[in-house]
Amino acid sequence: MRVGVGYSENPDTVKAGRQAADEALKSAALDRPCDLALMFATVRHEPRLLRATAASALGPATPIYGGGAIGAITNEHFGYSGAQVVLAAIWLEDAKCEVFTQRGLNKGEDKAGRRLGRKLAALDLDESSPVLLFYDAINRSQGDLRLLMATPLIQGLEKGLGFLPALVGAGCMSDYDCSPTWQWTGRGVAQHSATALAFSGNIRLDSVIMHGCHPATCYYTVTKADSQVILEIDGQPALSFLDRMLGKFIRIEDYPFFLTLGVNSGDKLASFNAESYANRLCLGLDAERGGLVMFEPDMVAGTEFQLMYRSLDMDYIPPRVAGLFEGLGRRRPVFATYINCAGRAAGHAGVDMEDAVVIQRELAGRVPLLGIYSGVEIAAVKGRPQSLDWTGVLTLFSVDP
């Protein structure tokens, strides 16, 4: 497997698509067409024109997959909330990649997940098979904003396939305003779709989750919920419960994209272990019912959680990156993806240091990098793939030596 990555911030869509594709081809320095490409871009670019322009450089037969992103990261560049485009040209060589797209997420994520799982069932997959999953996280088909959820999508995929492979992926958004998002589906463009890229041959994916959060409280319990809305905590209305606890420090109206809850799937009496935690980020407020609107619907009645505080110290990242590389053994890394929660961007989070810069420094000279700022991240916690918030998921693609 060989990969070249290109980047552009040109607001002119034609020039941006051409620049990103040309840079990707140049960086790989191969004189034959690539087998496929991954491309992500912000809402500033018209999706059909961007795809057509990139394809004119890559070759019209090259399938392009991907979708919206709030920003992008490569080895040399990063940016968000602008006109960012990132493209990875991929030559599979001794590997294979089968790709399936399922539309109709807005008609039921579980149903779409089952159909996608049944498509994947035609392949010779097992629980260790590497699969990338990208899906549209935004639904404005009825005018208002509705999120498309990773949790029921993954649950449906498991029902259709019979198990979960080694999933890594993202819920795609194209700006902080949750504008409609488009996906590239090979040779076309779609909305409300999910795409699974199943790799086989000598490819393996290894991931590590960058949390940057630690528990700030004891455990509390969700005692009433309605889908993605937490209505009661410890028997009290959720917003008033949190306001009594946090009112001196955080205003209720500042909860969206800031308040972070941690769900520990490990031993609750043991010392903090980041590998056991899934973070859940507040999306908005249900003022009428006094509820907390979350990105995912999995914090049901009975869920125990802790309030999390966000560390401003990036020193935890280098040893986690080092451990990921060490875990490869004799395998050769060929490509890296970094799926980063858009809320972690320094300009949005109100901090001084970008975790993207630390990732760039740690990967310098080691492997080409394609990174995106996403709405939801997907990776395994305690061995089980699930949706995540306020995380960065670094994944290494490696091949046999």
Contact in structure between 147 and 294 (CB atoms under 8 Å) = no
Question: What is the tens place of the pLDDT at every residue in 335-388?
Answer: 999 999 998 898 877 777 899 999 999 999 999 999 999 999 999 998 999 999
Contact in structure between 132 and 98 (CB atoms under 8 Å) = no
Q: Could you tell me where the DSSP H helices lie in 177-301? A: 238-246
Question: What is the tens place of the pLDDT at every residue in 225-272?
Answer: 999 999 999 999 999 999 999 998 899 999 988 899 999 999 998 998
Amino acid sitting at position 21: A
Question: What is the tens place of the pLDDT at every residue in 290-303?
Answer: 999 998 999 999 99
C-alpha span between 389 and 71 (Å, rounded): 16
The three-point CA angle 78-37-77 to 5° equals 10
Contact in structure between 178 and 139 (CB atoms under 8 Å) = no
C-alpha span between 183 and 9 (Å, rounded): 19
This prediction's pTM:
0.94
Question: Which among 89, 155, 118, 140 has a CA at the least distance from the CA of 297?
Answer: 155
Parse the chain into domains and list their residue ranges. 2-210+315-399, 213-310
Question: Which among 123, 73, 117 has a CA at the least distance from the CA of 97?
Answer: 123
**Ramachandran assignment for 104, one of left (phi > 0), alpha (psi -120 to 50 degrees), beta (any other):** left
**Collapsed DSSP state (helix, strand, coil) of residue 50:** helix
Helix (H), strand (E) counts: the chain: 8, 28
Q: Which residues contact residue 361 at a Cβ distance below 8 angstroms, ignoring those fewer than 6 apart?
A: none
